[in-house]
Amino acid sequence: MQRIRLRYTKRGRLRFTSHRDFQRAFERALRRADVPMAYSAGFTPHPKVSYAGAAPTGVGSEAEYLEIALAQTRDPEQLRLLLDESLPDGLDVIEAVEVSTPGLAERLEASVWQLRLEGVEPEAAAKAVEAFLAADSVEVQRSTKNGIRTFDCRAAVTRLDVVDTDATRTGADGPDDRACAILRLVVRHLTPAVRPDDVLSGLHTTADLAPPVPAAVTRLAQGPLDEESGTVTDPLAPDRDAVAVPAGSA
């Protein structure tokens, strides 16, 4: 089998697509593109597709990942183009890499999120961020199918900054004078998973920060975590480099 890892996006209105909806749309795209999928064994064979680290419904993303297994060899870039054409605008396949090693999920150690807080002054957001980062732990609650769960959201946060908003406050019609704070958040993938809305709840708990409208959240990246810099690196880079080097090269 040939294995291909793909990076895709959830943009615009398609950010409201659930993970199950995306799975159905992607499997239809595989059929439309006539991709020679490998199938599982058993009474109900299904195409070998592995999804990893899907973003919550309602959240945009520039860095969603999956892996497919093919029964016949295909050029990764041509495959990417065919799948991208077969998916609706907003679900865009932007990268494809042939891989020879397992472990995509293990490489997705952390995520970088952007939180756009309309109606919040950057100065107020900066004070809330300072209070949050100064806390040893920040307990928040989340409703689950098993009831209310309380957990610490502070331990998963490796970086939380207020981004310079000079450029982000200029719209299509010119400068935008409305208050808007942009946060950049790096979160480890722990159990239980800490989501951006959990961090927003933590900011409310520690500093009473309460945006008047729901935050616009976008995942910018996910992958291995560089412990020294607190940044997230490209999870496809090792495979891309391995495929690019011909066999027998130094």
For the stretch 103-137, pLDDT in tens is 899 999 999 999 999 999 999 999 999 999 999 99
- pLDDT digit string, tens, across residues 54-98: 999 999 999 999 999 999 999 999 999 999 999 999 999 999 999
Q: What is the DSSP string of 156-178?
A: TEEEEEEPP-TTTTEETTEE--S
- Give the residue among 107, 99, 35 at the shortest CA–CA distance from 67: 99
Q: Where are the alpha helices (DSSP H) in the chain?
A: 19-32, 76-86, 104-107, 122-134, 196-207, 237-244
What confidence score (pLDDT) does residue 190 get?
92
Q: Which domains does the chain have, with CATH numbers?
A: 2-106 (3.30.70.580), 108-232 (3.30.70)
What confidence score (pLDDT) does residue 245 get?
33
Cα 110-143-222 angle, rounded to 5 deg? 10
pTM recorded for the entire structure: 0.87
Residue 9 sits at φ, ψ, to 5 deg, of -115, 160
